[in-house]
Structure formats: structure tokens, C-alpha cells
């Protein structure tokens, strides 16, 4: 049995005195596409922030490639091969499309992803490479945010609400790029509000409800009823 790429044990998280996560157990194998679903406030974004170092966790709570990385600064984590596409895109307004992508490559990791390959995947970005990142449509900005994370050549890519605020046809376009991303063995986690999309593209699902894992299983083995119950906590 292959050892897990990423493991979280009893992961807790606090915002000041308010507890957001109450002991999450999570395991990701290499090459998987895993969806994390849950209602607003369930703790999905908090979980991703814990994994990427934006929220403090105990050192041993998260292991990546066997190394305890909890509480490390985000810069250290991205150097080790874990990158995130943040919720709401959060492109740098003062930077052009190309400059936003180049910043993603700062970690200096070697791998197949570079500007040329990204422009091949999302040709519209090549056309708009010198435009300020924020002058693009929502879907195009999502492509830039995704590309920016890919530029660090991660082994594990976390995507927080890729479909937020986007039209269905644009969401399909973004997800159509997934095979090219996972094709070479990259592990991907998607946090998704779109349950249909989540179940369709992923191999496994974790459902969070009020800071706890309420359901975990293979996407093709879970019924919509099971998922709804776990989602709403009924």
C-alpha cells in the first residue's frame, strides 16, 4: 500500500477563541482528485488554510510526504510542493497577467509547468498577458489564479471554490483543464459548492459539517441522499 502524500490527524483550528475545526482526519494518496464539500462556514477554507500555513496548526497535525509541516510559514510549504488557488482568485491588481503568473514561480521548483505550457492550456491568457490581472473576466481571472499556483510545480494542488461566481459554461471550461493538470500524477483537492461537479470529477469526497468530517467515501459509491444528509447535518 502506498504511503499517503498528505495526512492530517486530529486537526484543530482556531480563529482567536472561536474554534473552526474540531479534529479533522484526512488522507490523500498521490494522483488522486479529492473533493471537499460542505455548507458555508463548515470549515472547508479553514482546512485548506491550515494545510498551506495561513492558519496555525500543531506541527504534527499535518504530514506531507512524511514530514510534519503543521505551523510552517506558507513560503516553506510551497517550496515543499503544496500550492493553493485561493478562494476569490485574489490576483495582484498591480501586476499584469504574466507578472501574476511569474510570481507563482518564485518557489523555484522544477517541473513541467511554465509560462509556455500555461499559455497552451489557456490561450486567452497569452492574448492578455500584459493586461492588468483584474481587467479580465471572472473565468479568465480563475485561469490566471490556477496558472499562478501551477507555476510553482506543486505535487499537491488545493483549489478553493474554483466555480465561485462563475457561469456554468465557464465552470465547465475550467474543469476541462483538469485532466491536463492531473495527467502527470499531480494530486488535486477541490473545495466545491457545486455538488454535481464535485461528484463528477473527483474519486473521493470528504464532507465537512460544522468543523467535523461528516462523511467520507468514494464519489461513485455515495448517493445524493447520503451526501445531502452529511452536508446539512440531518
Nearer to another protein, 70 or 86 (CB): 86
What backbone torsions phi and psi does residue 11 show, to the nearest 5 degrees? Answer: -70, 120
- For the CB of residue 189, give the shortest distance to another protein in the complex, in Å: 15
Residues forming contacts to another protein in the complex (CB under 8 A) are 52, 54, 73-75, 78-79, 84, 86, 90, 92-95, 99, 102-104, 106-107, 132-135, 148, 152
CA neighbor of 130 nearest in space, from 91, 94, 89, 99: 99
* 226 CB-side CA count, 13 A: 14
Give dist(CA 111, CA 113) in Å, integer: 6
| Pick 135 or 220: Cβ nearer another protein | 135
Amino acid at each position: 500500500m502506498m504511503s499517503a502524500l498528505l495526512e492530517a490527524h486530529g486537526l484543530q483550528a482556531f480563529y482567536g477563541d472561536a474554534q473552526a475545526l474540531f479534529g479533522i482526519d484526512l488522507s490523500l494518496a498521490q494522483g488522486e482528485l479529492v473533493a471537499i464539500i460542505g455548507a458555508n462556514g463548515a470549515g472547508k477554507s479553514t482546512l485548506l488554510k491550515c494545510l498551506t500555513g495561513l492558519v496555525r496548526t500543531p506541527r504534527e497535525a499535518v504530514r506531507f510526504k512524511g514530514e510534519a509541516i503543521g505551523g510552517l510559514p506558507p513560503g516553506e510549504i510551497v517550496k515543499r510542493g503544496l500550492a493553493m488557488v485561493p478562494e476569490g482568485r485574489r490576483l495582484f491588481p498591480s501586476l499584469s497577467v504574466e507578472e501574476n503568473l511569474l510570481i507563482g514561480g518564485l518557489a523555484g521548483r522544477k517541473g513541467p509547468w511554465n509560462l509556455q505550457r500555461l499559455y497552451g492550456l489557456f490561450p486567452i491568457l497569452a492574448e492578455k498577458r500584459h493586461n492588468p490581472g483584474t481587467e479580465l473576466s471572472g473565468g479568465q481571472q480563475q485561469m490566471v489564479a490556477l496558472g499562478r499556483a501551477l507555476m510553482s510545480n506543486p505535487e499537491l494542488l488545493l483549489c478553493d471554490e474554483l466555480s465561485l461566481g462563475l457561469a456554468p459554461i465557464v465552470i465547465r471550461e475550467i474543469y476541462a483543464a483538469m485532466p491536463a493538470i492531473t495527467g502527470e500524477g499531480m494530486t488535486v483537492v477541490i473545495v466545491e459548492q457545486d455538488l454535481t461537479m464535485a461528484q463528477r470529477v473527483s474519486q473521493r469526497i470528504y464532507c465537512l459539517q460544522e468543523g467535523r468530517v461528516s462523511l467520507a467515501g468514494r464519489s461513485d459509491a455515495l448517493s445524493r441522499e447520503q451526501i445531502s444528509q452529511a452536508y446539512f447535518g440531518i
